[in-house]
A and B are shown apart, each in its own frame.
Chain A
Amino acid sequence: MSSERARGAAITGIGVIAPNGLHADAYWKSVREGLGALDRITREGCEDMPLRVGGEVRGFDPAGLIEERFLVQTDRFTHFGMAAAALALDEAGLGRGDPAEPYSIGVVTAAGSGGGEFGQRELQKLWGQGSKFVGPYQSIAWFYAASTGQISIWSGFKGPCGVVASDEAGGLDAIAHAARTVRRGTGAMVVGSAEAPLAPYSMVCQLGYPELSTAEDPDRAYLPFTERARGFAPAEGGAMLVVEDETRARERGTDIRAVVAGHSATFTGASRWEESREGLARAIKGALDEAGCAPEEIDVVFADAMGVPEADRAEALAIADALGAHGSRVPVTAPKTGTGRAYCAAPVLDVVSAVFAMENGLVPPTPNVFDICHDLDLVMSRARPAELRTALVLSRGLMGSNAALVVRRGGDSAR
């Protein structure tokens, strides 16, 4: 344990492809300003479904970042993931192709559903034209592990690779997995999640979720912590990070943007929101323990913000249970109300926001939310200046996973 603690896991690269920004800096600018990107879903074949509002990634052209042969054999969720990985590696100053030490870098992603759009297209060929018309890449493109595999092949990174399938909270679990892998001796991990749930087949799969908002108005579809909460709006896109051995990062002279300090996860069952209170509180306490962090040290909380009244209440109570009196004083925010929830990618985007928030001394606001009915200091309307050294990011999944991650500001870790 002590040797694991000795190695810090530093975030040295961030890549984002999100509804509100096709680059990490553009994403943060939108988040900081509280700009909403929720809109009517316009993707082909989706217009007539009872799910109207979501966060679409528009104007995305992966061709500038990823070679065509990888695009042909992969789904949109992998296009997002590969593009975000390319941006993160670029920022971290890590090359690809044939790196000097290919086994020193690994890849781990979290995925909620895989490549639904690609799978639908091939299944339509199967039933429309016959089995001989199904392309061979159907065998790999729909698979939830596709993004990890393709990023590894494309980058030439041959270190420990994996996929976390643990529900929406898996985005945080993947980052924790990467941090642990680095603490065990791997030089760096490319980690994160990207999802593409806004396609006809994938949307039909979501229609059964009672937590889904079917509201028509983009500004009112996703209003967590308010009396008008009526579910969540989904989103596509995601983020990839480079999580690197802190010492290695210092030796390379690359910027350490933040440090992954603690994580814990629990499971309390699908849609059992009342029970998620205890599960989430336990996850928060576990993450604080691992980080060696007192509740009062948490300077900002990025909430899960499910947007379902019972779930919101459970989260507010979990924060109070775990942080005590500090729970009603600490600034809480949920920038995802501006974009929707990109399933496993949602908490990864929150970690990105947390890093920028700490760097800029600004708690970003919760778009569209103006009047809350819980005992939380939710930051609304505009960003709030604050000295931020430590952030807590929370996530829950529809299937019952709860997770908490503590990240610390980069410059502070040398103390």
Chain B
Amino acid sequence: MITAELTFDDLAGLMKKAAGVTVDPQRLKQSPDFPFDSVGLDSLGLLGIVGELENRYGQSLPQDSERCKTPREFLDLVNSTLKAGA
């Protein structure tokens, strides 16, 4: 089975779709430690992204995933969960 992995490109697309926040995927890659707050993505917005991912992968993400503060923290959490679940 191929392990799914969430990329910075995916995350940028989801931020736009679920929360209306436009970020350059390159910026996410280059500086993944900026706070989501600074681009106007709040916990409800991240919760929407969590919901999209859970539906996409048919797998639950850990409770409080939407409390991640930065793109790197969120990506690490999602990818480690997907890897463990695979």
Contacts and interface: CB of A to CB of B under 8 A. Distances in A.
Interface of A: 67-73, 132-137, 139-140
B71 interface: no
Contact of A73 (B44, B51, B54, B55): B44
Interface stretch (B6-14, B15-23, B77-85): B15-23
A66 to B, nearest CB: 10
B45 A73 contact: yes
Interface of B: 18-22, 40-41, 44-45, 47-48, 51, 54-55
B21 A69 contact: yes
Contact of B51 (A72, A133, A139): A133
A64 to B, nearest CB: 15
Instruction: Give the most central of A134, A136, A139: most B CB within 10 Å.
Output: A136
Nearest to A135: B48
Contact of B54 (A70, A72, A132, A135): A132
B78 to A, nearest CB: 16
Consensus secondary structure, chain B interface: helix
A136 B51 contact: yes
Nearest to A129: B55
Contacts of A67: 20, 40
B49 to A, nearest CB: 9
B40 A139 contact: no
B56 to A, nearest CB: 11
Contacts of B19: 69, 72-73
A189 to B, nearest CB: 25
Given A69-B40, A73-B45, A135 B20 contact: no
A404 B52 CA distance: 49
A134 B19 CA distance: 14
A87 to B, nearest CB: 21
Given A132-B51, A132-B55, A140 B44 contact: yes
A69 B20 contact: yes
Nearest to B49: A136
